[in-house]
Structures are given as C-alpha cells and as structure tokens.
Amino acid sequence: MKALLLYPRFPETFWSFRHALPFLGKRSSYPPLGLLTVSALLPSAWERRLVDLNVEDLREKDLAWADVAFLSAMLVQAPSLSELIARCGAAGVRTVVGGPITSAEHAAWRDADHVVVGEAEEIVKILSHDLAAGQAKRFYASPCRTDMTRVPPPDLHLSRMRRYSSMPVQYSRGCPFACEFCDIIELFGQVPRTKTAKQVLAEFDRLYDLGWRGSVFMVDDNFVGNRRAIKGLLPQLAEWMARRRNPFSLFTQASINLAGDEELLSLMRASRFNRVFVGIETPVEESHRAAGKTQNANTDLLGSVRRLQEHGMEVMGGFILGFDQDPPDIFKRQIAFIKEAAIPISMVGLLTALPNTRLWRRLAGEGRIVRQSIGDNTAALLNFIPKMDAETLLAGYREVVSTLYNPKEYFERARVFLSRLGPSTRERRSFSDYLALIRSFIRQGIFSEYRRSYWRFLGNTFLRARRHLGLAVTLAIMGHHFFILARNTESKRPG
Ligand code: SF4
C-alpha cells in the first residue's frame, strides 16, 4: 500500500509566524508530529510520503501515486482539510482523518471515508489491516489512552527538514490541572503519561544523525506536568547535550508553578531550555478561580515571570480576554501587566469555547453558545455570548493587540526583558541565522516604517546587553510578524 500523509494548511494566525519565518528562509515552524508518528506505526512494507501544505504544494502526481491518504488536523485547519478531502475524493484516493478536529462533529471531515477519534496509536494497526483488506469501517475510536512507553519515534526523515525552523519531540501527554477552557485534558486526560528517558534520547539521537542542529520544540502541553518524571529525564538530557557540544536549543510549554521550583529551573537551564510558553491568561484573580486555573490563583504572577527570565528563559505568555469576571478596566490591566512583566511575545486571544470542554458544556447549558469555534482565539470573533457587551469586548481586544504590537511599545518591552534576562544559554548560530540578520537589517532597518525604534532597540542592546544581541535580532524579526497581524486584526470584524 502507498500512504500519503497530508497535513492541511494553517491560516494566518499569531501562531503561524508566517511573517517572521521568511527572514530565516523557513516556511513553517515544525513538521506534523502526529502524522509522522502514525507513519511510524504503519506496516513496514507500506510506502509513505508526506506532503505538508504549509511548506509545499500537493501535486496531482502525489495523488495518482497514493492508495490512501492520512490527514490530521486541528480546528483551525478545517477549511484546508475539507479542500484536501475533496481533492482526494476527486482523485479516487481513500481518506482517513484524525487529530483533535475529530473529537467533535465537524463539517470539515463529513466527506472523509474513515474517521479516527482519539489517540491513534491503539488504532493504526487494526485500521491498516482493514484498509489493506478493503474492509475499513467508517469510525475507529481509541479504546484507551496510549501507553507512551510504546510510542515509536516519528518518521521525521520524511519531512523536508530544512523548511522548518524547529523539530518537534514529545515527552508527555496530559496535564494535572483542570482549566475550564482547556481541551488538552479532555483529549489526553489529567494524569500525565510520559515516554522513558531512553525513548526521548533515542529521538534526540535520530535528529542529530539526520543532521539537525538548532531549535527543538518539546511539544508537551505542560512539560512540567509530572515533575518527578521530568527531574529524572533532565540530567540525562543535559548530559546528552554536553557530550555533543549542545547541538540544540530547547523550548516548551509549562505551567507557572515551574517558577517556584529552583531545582527544575536549574535542570532546564543545564539542558539548554531558553524559551517557555506559559498560560498566564489574566491578571484578575477571580477569573483564575472561576476558570479552575488554580495554579495561577494566589500566585505572584509578575514575580514568577521575572524569576523565569532571571533564569535565562524567555517567557512567551498566553492571555485571554472575555472571562465572565472581567472588570470594565480589563483591557488597561492586561496591557499594564504585560508591560510590567516585559513579555515581548504575548499571545492575547479571546476566550473561545472549544468543543467538549467544561467551558463549552457550561455555556451550552446557559444557552450562550452561538457557533462552533474556529480554533483561532486571536481572530476577533466570539463563539459565545459574553457577560460584557460583545462590541465593547471586541473593541477592547483590538485595542489591546494594537497597543501591545505598536512597534515602539513592543521594542520597549523587549528592551526591558533583555535587561532582566539572566545569562541565557548561547544559541548555536547557523548560516540561515546570518542570512536572517542581513534580511532583518534591510527589511526592518531600511525599509520599515518603524526603523527608528528598531535601530534604537538594537543599539541599546549593543551597548547594554551585548551578549543578547542575537536574541534581540530574533525578537525584532518575531515582532515584525505581530506588527502585521495586529494591523490585520484591526480590519477583522465580527461575523
Ligand atoms: S495548565 Fe494548560 S494544559 Fe493544563 S489544563 Fe490548564 S490550560 Fe490545559
């Protein structure tokens, strides 16, 4: 059998980094880990080919080659997913769809031949057998949560690695917390399941042997969900890195309680983690309590962010507007918090009720759901009736985004952040980094409208924090993406 692994295109979102990646000569952030793991589970005799629409086009000859197409998607990829299913159907290629989008009824996969619900590991063997026998059913549901110690390394060699800015590695699934709006715990449960250190190191070995150098994204939704396990892994990771003279720099996602664990912070530093995404959500204590985000309630959030920064870690923050408890001055408070915390990359989004979450169930019970979520909480679009007047909320949201991503404001935040940043791990520079530098000088330093703020920021870094100059250029490039997106958010109106 010939299996075509098809990954739908992402629209332009804050997360796509579409306006920053071209500086690095890259097209997407990282290859589709889920699909490449499915690939590794297929019978060894099957041929496989990956087409990621985010880095390449799907050609007619790919479709003519394939017997079956495996597609995986998140909600935000729905439009591209339904187009791909239609193209496969027209070419006579059977389609199997999985990923988070199948966890609830969605029009985008209605025309797929076969649908996989839940984690794929327990299903692929049976499904591939049924496909080969021409007896595949319409639905396959995972009978249980996957034992992570049996997950094989993904077939990353199928991806065009040079077109991505990072490579993904997964250590765990699941998160012990219970945030009302989160779909991770619905999909993967509240008991983090982990791979063994041996598995993770084997994946690092494989990346290294494939010639990868640079950024690696530990894709876990909460890397520190099982702190005991992670403390067992990290010394081995640090040792692996040191032995190979630090070929990778690592970033991940973690809950804010990471900041209170000195031992864990030191271990992460030793393992070359230099960036972490943290869901901070709001400076309003009552919202944390109501949303069940207990780890953020009763916590000195500003102090926690600062501690992470002082440990050499760049904090990227997730923020939400639209909680029922939001006071009228929430917009000013979010802006003030983000400024004070000096978080250059702040993903501010509107609360969205994702399918199958506690939030969805509560709002549905209150008759407040108005449409399915499109899975992009940074689009100025609500899928529920907020407590605050909707127009006021949307206008406030646009105001927050345009203020934060006013280039002057952004560079000032980045400047303060760099002044606080502890000795960060030195990133290995590659040829594409130098190309990015030249592109940035030309595009941002000569032709952009914000070139004065740009040069002031770089000049200041050169004089006061020269060791962070490389990071300063990276932040400037990432800022460019947000400046464009913020302008576009201005023009997006509620539908
Ligand atoms: S900490 Fe993050 S992953 Fe865990 S439940 Fe909350 S939002 Fe979900």
- Output the domain CATH number for residue 17: 3.40.50.280
The Å distance, Cα 398 to ligand 1 centre, comes to: 25
Residue 87: C-alpha distances to residues 99, 159, 266, 304, 463 (Å): 19, 22, 50, 49, 55
**Which of 404, 397, 415 is closest to 331 using CA atoms?**
397
Query: What residues make up the domain containing 24?
Result: 2-141
Same domain for 179 and 106?
no
Instruction: Write the DSSP assignment of 454-465 as a string of letters.
Output: HHHHHHHHHHH-
Same domain for 76 and 121?
yes
Q: What are phi and psi of 300, to 5 degrees?
A: -80, 90
Q: What is the pTM of this model?
A: 0.95
Atom of ligand 1 nearest to the CA of 176: 4
The CA distance from 268 to 175, in Å, is: 19
Rg of the chain on CA atoms, in Å: 22
Asked whether 221 lines ligand 1 (CB < 6 A), one says yes
Q: So what's the pLDDT on residue 14?
A: 86
The Å distance, Cα 435 to ligand 1 centre, comes to: 37
What would the mean pLDDT of 102-106 be, rounded to a whole number? 90
The Å distance, Cα 278 to ligand 1 centre, comes to: 10
Question: Residue 318 gets which letter from DSSP?
Answer: E
- The secondary structure element, H or E, covering residue 478 is helix 469-491
Residues 403-425 pLDDT 10s = 999 999 999 999 999 999 987 66
* Torsion of the alpha carbons at 16, 21, 25 and 26, rounded to the nearest 10: -30
The Å distance, Cα 98 to ligand 1 centre, comes to: 22
The Å distance, Cα 282 to ligand 1 centre, comes to: 14
426 part of a folded domain: no
464 part of a folded domain: no
Asked whether 337 lines ligand 1 (CB < 6 A), one says no
The Å distance, Cα 193 to ligand 1 centre, comes to: 15
Same domain for 65 and 190?
no
- The secondary structure element, H or E, covering residue 316 is strand 314-321
Same domain for 107 and 189?
no
Same domain for 397 and 345?
yes
Q: So what's the pLDDT on residue 494?
A: 42
184 part of a folded domain: yes
pLDDT at 495 over 50: no
The CA distance from 18 to 35, in Å, is: 22
- The secondary structure element, H or E, covering residue 491 is helix 469-491
Q: Which of 419, 447, 481 marks a domain boundary?
A: 419
Same domain for 177 and 313?
yes
Residue 6: C-alpha distances to residues 59, 94, 127 (Å): 11, 12, 17
Q: Pocket of ligand 1, candidates 170, 172, 183, 184: which has the most ligand atoms within 8 Å of its Cβ, to mutate?
A: 184
Q: What's the total number of domains in the chain?
A: 2
Residues 121-133 pLDDT 10s = 989 999 999 999 9
| Highest mean predicted confidence (pLDDT) among 3-7, 14-18, 102-106, 434-438 | 3-7
Asked whether 136 lines ligand 1 (CB < 6 A), one says no
Q: So what's the pLDDT on residue 379?
A: 77
